[in-house]
Structure 1
């Protein structure tokens, strides 16, 4: 099978599944819409694995460009729908289709009996299609098509329960927030084409050294790309849409937070690494905003009582870690954490969904407890996910998080210190969640009888737990044995950017720094110590003292500020939304109705009055017309005579 057939097939198979459910879903009974959608997602994953093996990524150094069809032709502006096959795109394809397929399988059991199951799986398949189109894109325009596609699908899936006002509002909020950030993305694409004459990644990279004028404006361009990435990957202040996205069904949350939407921003920076390495001044902002977002979101997570909201703020925080890596130029570290996070965050969301499903849609941690005896598979896999995200060795999060903290240390001890404190907070709120949900005395409503979920839910949990446990061994520091598999895998993708950094910035050294094994071990021990403190605090409050968190309205002082999410939504509402609504109402009720409408209405009345007068002159009688002709002639002659005199 040639690349020209194989790669479009990977992208289009989920689209076929979406189309089948959209057209024939109502005719399919029971779980068949889910089976159809899951079949096409797994089929895409199978072809993705086949492409990965045939590409031989450890041996190839040049990307494979796969043309599909010519799309746009306007003057000298030509865009072809083409796909770029390299180590980065294959890495993302396996994450998107692999974890996405497990979420599809999980959804069969979770959405069983839902009357909108066909619509749900149609949207879910469309989400995979859009994300695959994005990560395989050969140029910026094709990428932007997928970029907007995932934005549309997130809107459709977050607001899937159309009868719920909260879901509808959350979908609109996600859509509008991303449109603001996407404006910067459009500006960046336009500037890139203006200076390079191309939107193709390989062509832009090849002509970059000759574009002297472009290098001067490059900080603006990469800054705009970064703003676009902030929107998709929910970095402060664009983070506000992601926690509200929990209004959608739990599988949607898992798909958005682990395999699709939020990873798009990280992917964009990695794909355009040859531009970002030339703008270290933008890199500092990326590190600063990423560090702040990680810490900021982690503080909010410590007082949340909604099981999904805790995980939502955890995602915002972990994405902050990834941006820290991207800002320091440690792209492999960022992608490494993207991989491990995809496993353990999908696991945690699906595990929370298993709990919610068993408790008949209960999400409040204060109404849980003691579930580990009734839901042993869910409990054990969720515990593995908690250990991984907390960074406890030898689980995956330990290796990826500590690698990012090591890179942050080179920028500033401040960034490293905030990252370590964030790790402490992460451990605290994740074990708080785990202890409140699964241990202690049951606080479940008496009319609810918890039980383990069906195999369609537990099998994905087991597979994801294996990934969360062992994916960290793809990149191990020298102090712990030294495995550089992922570094060698990604070397062809980032080698061009490294070369440009040395040549154009005349830095004379690589942007990727390495510590001695003893220094690595010291930093790791500091991080591990913070994790230990976080675990001890959580154990003390929620196991030893068996505390139950109060309702959010019962908090006071600084806790009230944190529980209120620092009132960021209220600030946006008061300073941006309300003024816009005020001026909109003013223009609607005053300018439009009392000014413009009156002008238009009176103009119409004048025209109507003139027409009434003219209609009276049109009698249809020959004698009247003859009289008017004679009268007109007399008037004209009188005018000439008067002028003559």
Structure 2
């Protein structure tokens, strides 16, 4: 079969699955809906791996398949196309691999849900929107996919829409992403205003000619390319949950665990990183915007890592880990190491999806418990889940020996940290040194909270044995609740299927464990297998101009020659964090719990996520309400209505009331008034005649 046709079918297959399950799911039944959507996703996955292997080892050249005209209005031309190059080939593999395994995993995890066709339709719709995004040949299709994944994520996060916390989380994610998308749209407008085209193939060759172009605004000349790049990055900040626009990500854990793995581990949140790397020709000529990307990414990596230290919900710990890892990817792109950013995106997809799905397996085995303080001692009861989550933890912490190797995260994370140092040493990025030190500090924090999760969940005293009843608060339960709850989409109820006796944790079925085993293979091998192609000797051949580096950007090549202490710094910090977690949660078991119970300013600050939600609630929610009340109660009611129609009516009423008192009904009163009127008239006439 022709490769172009095969790729086209692979991109649109999830849309077909979403339509079948969404429109005919009740008629064809649960099993048929699941089979159609999952089967089509695995077909897309096979196509993606064919394209990726042909690109990596078969010498495939970039090509674009024009499907149909999209929007043609004057000079604004957009065609629906499928672009295949190194970036899209990587993203196709990431999206379809994780999505197909999530579909398979959901067969077991969502087995008790009565709305499986709707759930699988949403999953497939999300996947199609993501594929449309990563294969876009112009900004219009990119924006279509961008908004499509936003819509699908809203539907998936709020899948149980009668559960108030899920609905609130879905709305929050939607609103915060709209803030970023407003900047993204302005960035697209700016690009079209500057270049008269939104087609990537036409746009990228023209960017160098516009370097240094200014834009007069508010009496100041602004760099037009920096402005465009910054506005586009604002969109990436929202979609990828970067500092200031990150608050939606942890709340999105209210969605089903497969949703967390699909959207918030490997696909949607990485769209911003992909977009920045795709637009490297713009960012290379926008140095100020690049510095902003590096700083925001570094701050996000540190912020999320610190917050992850104090969380007790197993999914929220992994969610903040995602936020931190995205920060690594962004500061890599900000210092010019786009290849390292994409490599970390690739490896991160495997071990983060593994950790999220592994957490779902724990929650399933613990009868929907998410609070790690109520777990412990599970490694014997959930041996497969324990093994794969340990692999995922080793991968995300980046444990490995320089010059020898390690799991997937070791290669990509170390490449980012070394690139940041190289960018600073060469003078390419003024914030490279800041990003470097933040990177190694965040590596230590990542090791600590990652192993903390493992020790609290699988080791330590099995707290669940001492609890006959499991009362769950709003943050200590998963959506995957009892059948009775799922029927009504109601608030979570305590226990499992009205279970009121001691818990009996159990391993998940193999339909859930198989995706975990497959992802663990990627978490182990993705680094050393693909490092030569992404960041090693074959990187020039692999990327084939899909990523643009300016004439002064040699960051990736210089990262291979950094001092030895730089290469060993991440490992040292990782070992310190890991050993501290082992000491605190294994050797001194119970000490951390007692420290947390005592509270304190630092613990409260981290546990409450730097109080961002409270600050945003005060400034934006209450502030908007106060401004609204001011314009309504003061501006509208008191000023406009008070001096306008209501004021005129009031004056008329008061005047009428006073004039009414003159209507006494006595004839002599009226005669007296008439006499006064005649006298007044005569006085006026005499005065006027004399004048």
Structure 1 length-normalised TM: 0.87
Output the CA distance in 1 between the equivalents of 2:30 and 2:68: 38
Residue 461 (structure 1) aligns with: 516
Q: 1:53 to 1:338 in 2, by over 3 A?
A: closer
The reply on whether 1:493 has 2:536 as its aligned counterpart is: no
Q: How many Å apart are 1:589 and its aligned residue?
A: 5.4
User: Quick check: which one's helix share is greater?
Assistant: 1
Contact 1:222-1:275 within 8 A present in 2 as well? yes
Output the CA distance in 2 between the equivalents of 1:564 and 1:368: 22
Residue 82 (structure 2) aligns with: 83
Q: How many Å apart are 1:76 and its aligned residue?
A: 2.1
Cα deviation, 1:545-567, whole Å, max 9, x if unaligned, reads: 11263697752222111111110
Matches within 5 A, 1:359-370: 359-370=366-377
2:304 pairs, out of 297, 303, 310, with 297
Contact 1:96-1:259 within 8 A present in 2 as well? yes
SS in 2 for 1:441: coil
Output the CA distance in 1 between the equivalents of 2:340 and 2:52: 21
RMSD of the alignment, in Å? Answer: 2.4
1:395 pairs, out of 407, 416, 424, with 407
Contact 1:474-1:484 within 8 A present in 2 as well? no
Residue 581 (structure 2) aligns with: 538
Q: How many Å apart are 1:115 and its aligned residue?
A: 1.2
1:386 pairs, out of 376, 393, 402, with 393
SS in 1 for 2:463: coil
Q: 1:75 to 1:250 in 2, by over 3 A?
A: same
Q: 1:171 to 1:110 in 2, by over 3 A?
A: same
Residue 224 (structure 2) aligns with: 217
SS in 2 for 1:493: coil
Residue 571 (structure 2) aligns with: 528
Matches within 5 A, 1:540-555: 540-547=583-590, 549=593, 555=599
Output the CA distance in 2 between the equivalents of 1:323 and 1:487: 21
Residue 229 (structure 1) aligns with: 236
Cα deviation, 1:259-283, whole Å, max 9, x if unaligned, reads: 2210100010111111111122221
The reply on whether 1:570 has 2:626 as its aligned counterpart is: no
Q: How many Å apart are 1:434 and its aligned residue?
A: 0.3
Output the CA distance in 2 between the equivalents of 1:329 and 1:9: 35
Q: How many Å apart are 1:173 and its aligned residue?
A: 0.7
Q: 1:511 to 1:522 in 2, by over 3 A?
A: closer
9-18 or 443-452: which moved more? 443-452
Contact 1:6-1:51 within 8 A present in 2 as well? no
Matches within 5 A, 1:401-550: 401-410=413-422, 411=424, 412-444=432-464, 445-446=467-468, 447-474=502-529, 476=531, 483-486=536-539, 488-494=541-547, 497-498=548-549, 501-502=550-551, 507=552, 510-515=554-559, 519=562, 521-547=564-590, 549=593
SS in 1 for 2:246: helix
Contact 1:64-1:84 within 8 A present in 2 as well? yes
Q: 1:437 to 1:489 in 2, by over 3 A?
A: same
SS in 1 for 2:505: coil
SS in 2 for 1:236: coil
Q: 1:69 to 1:306 in 2, by over 3 A?
A: same
The reply on whether 1:580 has 2:624 as its aligned counterpart is: yes
SS in 1 for 2:336: coil
Q: 1:98 to 1:486 in 2, by over 3 A?
A: farther
The reply on whether 1:242 has 2:249 as its aligned counterpart is: yes
Contact 2:399-2:574 within 8 A present in 1 as well? yes
Cα deviation, 1:351-393, whole Å, max 9, x if unaligned, reads: 0000001111100001001111011100000000000001112
SS in 2 for 1:80: strand
Output the CA distance in 1 between the equivalents of 2:587 and 2:212: 64
Gaps of 5+ in 2: 215-222, 401-405, 425-431, 469-501, 650-691
Cα deviation, 1:189-222, whole Å, max 9, x if unaligned, reads: 1111111111011100122234467574101010
Output the CA distance in 2 between the equivalents of 1:591 and 1:109: 57
Matches within 5 A, 1:289-328: 289-328=296-335
Contact 1:236-1:289 within 8 A present in 2 as well? yes
Output the CA distance in 2 between the equivalents of 1:259 and 1:473: 20
Contact 2:105-2:515 within 8 A present in 1 as well? yes
Cα deviation, 1:68-97, whole Å, max 9, x if unaligned, reads: 101112122221111211111011001100
519-528 or 275-284: which moved more? 519-528
Residue 339 (structure 2) aligns with: 332
Output the CA distance in 2 between the equivalents of 1:79 and 1:516: 41
Cα deviation, 1:389-414, whole Å, max 9, x if unaligned, reads: 01112111111111100011132433
Output the CA distance in 2 between the equivalents of 1:225 and 1:232: 11
Cα deviation, 1:101-153, whole Å, max 9, x if unaligned, reads: 00110011000010121111111000000000000000000000000001111
Residue 352 (structure 2) aligns with: 345
Contact 1:106-1:456 within 8 A present in 2 as well? yes
Output the CA distance in 1 between the equivalents of 2:352 and 2:414: 17
Contact 2:56-2:542 within 8 A present in 1 as well? no
Output the CA distance in 2 between the equivalents of 1:409 and 1:25: 54
Output the CA distance in 2 between the equivalents of 1:304 and 1:373: 25
Residue 52 (structure 1) aligns with: 52
The reply on whether 1:356 has 2:339 as its aligned counterpart is: no
Q: How many Å apart are 1:294 and its aligned residue?
A: 0.4
Q: How many Å apart are 1:591 and its aligned residue?
A: 5.5
Q: 1:489 to 1:234 in 2, by over 3 A?
A: same
Q: How many Å apart are 1:418 and its aligned residue?
A: 1.7
Aligned length, in residue pairs: 590
Matches within 5 A, 1:624-639: none
The reply on whether 1:64 has 2:99 as its aligned counterpart is: no
Output the CA distance in 2 between the equivalents of 1:521 and 1:511: 17
SS in 2 for 1:373: coil
Contact 2:419-2:559 within 8 A present in 1 as well? no
Q: How many Å apart are 1:583 and its aligned residue?
A: 2.5
Output the CA distance in 2 between the equivalents of 1:174 and 1:138: 27
548-557 or 93-102: which moved more? 548-557
The reply on whether 1:286 has 2:307 as its aligned counterpart is: no
Output the CA distance in 2 between the equivalents of 1:415 and 1:211: 29
Contact 1:195-1:213 within 8 A present in 2 as well? no
Q: How many Å apart are 1:487 and its aligned residue?
A: 5.2
Output the CA distance in 2 between the equivalents of 1:564 and 1:100: 32
Residue 259 (structure 1) aligns with: 266
Q: How many Å apart are 1:160 and its aligned residue?
A: 1.0
Output the CA distance in 1 between the equivalents of 2:272 and 2:73: 29
Residue 491 (structure 2) aligns with: none
Contact 2:328-2:413 within 8 A present in 1 as well? yes
Q: 1:4 to 1:527 in 2, by over 3 A?
A: closer
Cα deviation, 1:277-335, whole Å, max 9, x if unaligned, reads: 11222212211111111011101111110000100110110000001110111111001
Q: How many Å apart are 1:511 and its aligned residue?
A: 4.7
